[in-house]
Amino acid sequence: MATITFLGAAQEVTGSCHLLESPAVGRVLLDCGMHQGGDAVERIQDEEFVFDPATIDAVLLSHAHLDHSGMLPRLYHEGFRGDVICNGATAELLHVMLHDSVGLYLRDLERTNLRNARRGRPAIEPVYNQDDVNGVLGLCRGYRFGERNSLGQGGTVVFHDAGHILGSSIIEVLINEGDEPRTLVFSGDLGKKDSVLMNAPAKLQHADVVLMESTYGDREHRGEQDSLLQLRDILQQTWKRGGSVMIPAFAVGRTQDILFHLGCLAQQGELDPWEVFLDSPMAIDVTKIYDRWLDLLDGDEVRHLSDAQKTSLETFVPTLNLAVSTEESMAINRIKGGAIIIAGSGMCTGGRIRHHFKQRIWDDRNTIIFTGFQAQGTLGRILVEGVNRIKLFGEEYVVKARIETLGGLSAHAGQSGLIEWIGGFEPAPRTVLVHGEVRSQEALRLKLADKLQLQAEIPRRGESITF
């Protein structure tokens, strides 16, 4: 008998972590992600494992986004020495993601400790450091999609393309105990069929239990072409006002999608007057990794790129400027209009985008474009919901910039895509909804019952199921 305990992304979107326990495979984590929202230092300091990390035999990692991978260094710091098993592209992306994440954390912690010192408060010790990042990266084992790998004494794991970001995987675990082998499928984050850079998610046909994400379980996305036209119109309107555009973007996946769409507009002559700034050292490094793995990203749009364009996603946008240093980032402030600024973080919880907000969010000529899900408690969510004032770096700012959302650029499947994917299993498996807010999950559960006569479960954090 196997047990799954839901330790994160249970009735919430971030912090993906599920514990699989079975004599055949041992104690295995499906993802080890951090929660997002609120103060970064407080959030990381407050994260705690309800298990002894030294007893975990392996981590099966669906992809490199920090809400799925960000607590790996702390897991190592507290005694984990098993394998981190993932797709090969994910293993390469982790080097960039985790080093950048720990660097930001330690810098934020240093600032926090300076404030504490001025107030006579004790210093806060880091819960992990660069040595822990290097240590856990040394445990990574990258495999190809479709490759069968042994897990524990009687298990097998296979990764399938989830179509969400580079390397993102649907994880299939075959558990051989007794006379009746069982199959667990963890969807990770599922992409859309019409994503410009990614393949459609792989369709599996058999599972006893499926853990399925439900981020957009209550809604559909606009089509990619509609979103491209919407982006063109937003840029035209902002140009007429004499403003600039700020795009908060995740370094992995979303930034590359945005660059591709801007490149399409550039090829149509729609981007000529704009200067485009990619203001994220991590996103720049990740884009270079995408270039190296471009053959894996074999959607129609990528296949139809000319040889010159396919050399690099960066060269697809002729007016692109790369801001690596702090000085290059600050120099963007001197441009008063006609700048498209792509910067992290995607939910505005940190990073350089907050500095650009400080310079421009109070000016009604400017526009902020959100292209992905904004979790509860994040600055991005507050802005999307229409707040009038925000606090940045201890000062209050009025929000006058226009707020726009391009839902069609989301890297997640919408409701119909989720229903179609789970509907491919025969017979219908036991289905558990994870990685979604309760409203989205309840809406999806009703649709699954209506369309497929499938009764899905919605576990709370800490709950377990056996199969």
Count of Cβ atoms closer than 10 Å to residue 348 Cβ:
25
Cis preceding linkage at 53, omega within 30: no
Q: Which of 409, 430, 457 is a domain's end point?
A: 409
**37-85 pLDDT, tens per residue?**
777 788 888 899 999 999 999 999 999 999 999 999 999 999 999 999 9
**How is the chain split among helix, strand and coil, in percent rounded to 5?**
35, 20, 45
Q: What is the reported pLDDT for 411?
A: 85
Q: What is the reported pLDDT for 34?
A: 94
- Statement to judge: residues 422 and 453 lie in one domain: yes
Q: Look up the pTM and report it.
A: 0.89
> Which residues have a Cβ under 8 Å from the Cβ of 438 and sit 6 or more positions away?
11, 458
Check if the beta carbon of residue 371 is closer than 8 Å to that of residue 258.
Answer: yes
Question: Look-up: residue for tokens 């042994």?
Answer: 150
- Statement to judge: residues 184 and 239 lie in one domain: no
* Residue stretches of the chain with pLDDT short of 50: 299-311
Check if the beta carbon of residue 172 is closer than 8 Å to that of residue 157.
Answer: yes
Q: For residue 65, give the CATH number of its domain.
A: 3.60.15.10
Strand bridging mode 389-392 / 320-322: unpaired
Structure tokens at 399: 């929000």
What is the rounded radius of gyration, in angstroms, for the C-alpha atoms of the chain?
A: 22
Q: What is the reported pLDDT for 315?
A: 66
> Which residues have a Cβ under 8 Å from the Cβ of 319 and sit 6 or more positions away?
266, 271, 272, 274, 275, 276
- Statement to judge: residues 458 and 380 lie in one domain: no
What burial class does residue 388 get, using C-beta atoms within 10 Å of its C-beta: 0-12 exposed, 13-18 middle, 19+ buried?
Answer: exposed
Measuring CA to CA, which residue among 34, 24, 89 is closest to residue 58?
24
- Statement to judge: residues 212 and 234 lie in one domain: no
- Statement to judge: residues 306 and 421 lie in one domain: no
Strand partners, 342: 247, 278
What burial class does residue 66 get, using C-beta atoms within 10 Å of its C-beta: 0-12 exposed, 13-18 middle, 19+ buried?
Answer: buried
- Statement to judge: residues 99 and 191 lie in one domain: yes
Q: What is the reported pLDDT for 306?
A: 41
Check if the beta carbon of residue 83 is closer than 8 Å to that of residue 59.
Answer: yes
- Statement to judge: residues 112 and 230 lie in one domain: no
- Statement to judge: residues 95 and 178 lie in one domain: yes
SS3 call for 421 = helix
Check if the beta carbon of residue 410 is closer than 8 Å to that of residue 197.
Answer: no
- Statement to judge: residues 110 and 130 lie in one domain: yes
- Statement to judge: residues 130 and 20 lie in one domain: yes
Q: Which domain holds residue 293?
A: 224-409
Q: What is the reported pLDDT for 305?
A: 43
Q: How far apart are CA 380 and CA 353, in angstroms?
A: 11
Count of Cβ atoms closer than 10 Å to residue 156 Cβ:
18
Please tell me what DSSP assigns to residue 457. B
Write the single-letter amino acid at 59: V
Q: For residue 358, give the CATH number of its domain.
A: 3.40.50.10890
Give the H or E element holding residue 71.
none
Structure tokens at 132: 């822990």
CB-hemisphere CA count at 13 Å for 15?
21
What burial class does residue 50 get, using C-beta atoms within 10 Å of its C-beta: 0-12 exposed, 13-18 middle, 19+ buried?
Answer: exposed
Q: What is the reported pLDDT for 226?
A: 84
